[in-house]
């Protein structure tokens, strides 16, 4: 006598058969890998160097080097064999270039950026900026008043500290002002160069770095901040704001920028400097703020400045600050740049039309002189 199948068992058996049939009829579908993003919100980009209207190198934290050849539509990452932070990059021509960064990092390319080799910089100090006049002659600046020079394309470097030597009778009082960090360098030709840094330092050479002289003295009388109870009048020029960036349009016209939103300019090759004024908005008259007095609201620090074209200029800084030089000589916030509340480390133009802004998780590109900007997605 056959044993009847219970309804519950029958239902279970049907479900098992359906599952086995379904598994047998469907092929395994491969899940495509997630696309690799070359630009992430967590990236910290510190510098950009365009070599053509659409080709540029971008460098940043953890050894990251990106190359675009289509105006930022696509990027390719270049492996340079290090995870050290990269603070600066410069290509001297289509094939030769240099980069610098943490732990005395100096690297060189001779094949247009495809490969990079590390050079012996003779230091482990941070190198923040550099300026090469050609593929052989370069100047690099960094922590503890560091100045490196090379005349053979990085085969060897000479090292010194670019700082004031105090007389013995006040040396003990000057400890706070020794070894200021140097952040940026700009040579307009093989002989004339400028270096700026901490505590308002502005250095100048007229003979290719053989000798240097300080140039910030003309700013002291303009800076109206009173000395504190523990500050010495003999060091009055060391209370000037720190400068992070410097740029020159030609051998006479230059500008530097730094803490408290300060912009200083020269029209005579650095013999004299003056604090530039800002405007409330583009087209508005310059403000009447006295440099050094307490300002409300406080202005964001500016990290980079670029003078380009015949009369153009831009500066970038903290919390997405972007200033543009106006026809009346004042600097005003540029409303054409997307509002991105992150530090913007560097602005650099290839010519009057094509330029880049890079910062934390941000790469912006313009091809119309800054009238419009495109955020690169990577």
SS3 222: coil
- How do strand 278-279 and strand 331-333 relate by DSSP bridges? parallel
* pLDDT tens per residue across span 90-99: 999 999 999 9
pLDDT reading at 158 higher than 70: yes
Q: Is the pLDDT of residue 185 over 50?
A: yes
- The arithmetic mean of pLDDT across residues 307-320, rounded, is 96
Higher pLDDT, 15 or 129: 129
Mean pLDDT of 37-60: 96
Residue 366 has pLDDT above 90, yes or no: yes
pLDDT above 80: residue 16: no
100-148 residue pLDDT tens: 999 999 999 999 999 999 999 999 999 999 999 999 999 999 999 999 9
Looking at residue 18, its pLDDT comes to 47
Question: Per-residue pLDDT averaged across 43-51, rounded?
Answer: 98
- Contact yes or no for 214/201 (Cβ under 8 A): yes
Question: Does the pLDDT of residue 22 top 50, yes or no?
Answer: no
> Rounded to two decimals, what is the model's pTM?
0.90
Q: Return the structure tokens found at 202.
A: 């502005």
Q: Which residue has the higher pLDDT, 4 or 293?
A: 293
Confidence of residue 27 (pLDDT cuts 50, 70, 90): low
For residue 6, pLDDT beyond 90: no
The CA distances from residue 93 to 49, 97, 253, in Å, are 11, 7, 24
46-225+237-284+295-375 domain in CATH 2.130.10.10? Answer: yes
219, burial (CB in 10 Å: exposed 0-12, middle 13-18, buried 19+): buried
pLDDT at 13: 52
- Number of helices (H), then strands (E), belonging to the chain: the values are 2, 29
pLDDT-derived band at 24, boundaries 50, 70, 90: very low
Give tens-digit pLDDT for 352-363.
Answer: 999 999 999 999
Q: Is 260 helix (H, G, I), strand (E, B) or coil?
A: helix
**Across 297-313, average pLDDT:** 94
pLDDT digits (tens, 9 = 90+) for 71-81: 999 999 999 99
For residues 3 and 349, which has the higher predicted lDDT (pLDDT)? 349
Using alpha carbons only, give the angle 148, 149, 153 rounded to the nearest 5 degrees.
Answer: 120
Which comes out higher in pLDDT, residue 357 or 12?
Answer: 357
Question: What is the pLDDT averaged over residues 327-353?
Answer: 96
Q: Indicate the burial class of 136 (C-beta count within 10 angstroms; 0-12, 13-18, 19 or more).
A: middle
Tokens of 42: 């967590």
Question: For the range 171-174, what are the long-range contacts, defined as Cβ-Cβ under 8 Å and sequence gap of 24 or more?
Answer: 173/232, 173/234, 173/235, 174/235
pLDDT for 332 equals 98
Extract the tokens encoding 235.
């060091």
The CB density around residue 369, as the number of other CB atoms within 10 Å, is 16
Summarised one tens digit per residue, pLDDT across range 186-244 is 999 999 999 999 999 999 999 999 999 999 999 999 999 988 888 888 999 999 999 99
């Amino acid at each position: 006598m056959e044993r009847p199948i219970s309804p519950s068992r029958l239902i279970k058996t049907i479900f098992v058969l359906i599952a086995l049939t379904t598994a047998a009829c469907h092929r395994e579908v491969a899940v495509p890998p997630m696309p690799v993003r070359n630009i992430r919100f967590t990236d910290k980009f510190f510098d950009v160097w365009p070599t053509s209207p659409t080709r540029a190198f971008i460098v940043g934290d953890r050894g990251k080097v990106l190359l675009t050849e289509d105006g930022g539509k696509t990027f390719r990452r270049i492996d340079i064999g290090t995870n050290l932070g990269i603070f600066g990059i410069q290509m001297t021509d289509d094939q030769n270039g240099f980069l610098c960064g943490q732990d005395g990092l100096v690297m060189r390319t001779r094949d247009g950026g495809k490969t990079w080799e590390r050079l012996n910089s003779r230091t482990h100090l941070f190198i923040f900026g550099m300026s090469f006049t050609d593929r052989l002659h370069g100047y690099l600046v960094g922590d503890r008043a560091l100045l490196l020079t090379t005349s053979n394309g990085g085969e060897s470097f000479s090292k010194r500290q670019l700082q004031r030597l105090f007389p013995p009778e006040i040396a003990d009082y000057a400890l706070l002002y020794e070894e200021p960090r140097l952040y940026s360098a700009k040579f307009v030709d093989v002989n004339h160069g400028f270096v700026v840094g901490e505590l308002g330092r502005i250095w100048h050479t007229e003979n290719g770095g053989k000798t240097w002289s300080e140039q910030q003295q003309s700013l002291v009388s303009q800076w109206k901040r009173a000395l504190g109870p523990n500050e010495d009048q003999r060091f009055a020029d060391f209370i000037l704001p720190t400068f992070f960036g410097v740029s020159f349009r030609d051998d006479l016209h230059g500008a530097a920028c730094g803490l408290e939103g300060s912009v200083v300019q020269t029209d005579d090759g650095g013999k004299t400097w003056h604090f530039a004024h800002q405007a409330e908005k583009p087209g508005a008259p310059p403000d009447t703020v006295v440099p050094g007095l307490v300002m409300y609201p406080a202005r964001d620090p500016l990290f980079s400045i670029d003078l380009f074209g015949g009369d153009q200029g831009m500066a970038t800084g903290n919390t997405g600050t972007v200033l543009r030089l106006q026809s009346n000589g004042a600097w005003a916030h540029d409303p054409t740049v997307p509002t991105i509340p992150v530090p913007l480390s560097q602005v650099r133009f290839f010519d009057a039309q094509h330029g880049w802004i890079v910062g934390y998780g941000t790469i912006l590109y313009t091809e119309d002189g800054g009238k419009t900007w495109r955020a690169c997605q990577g």
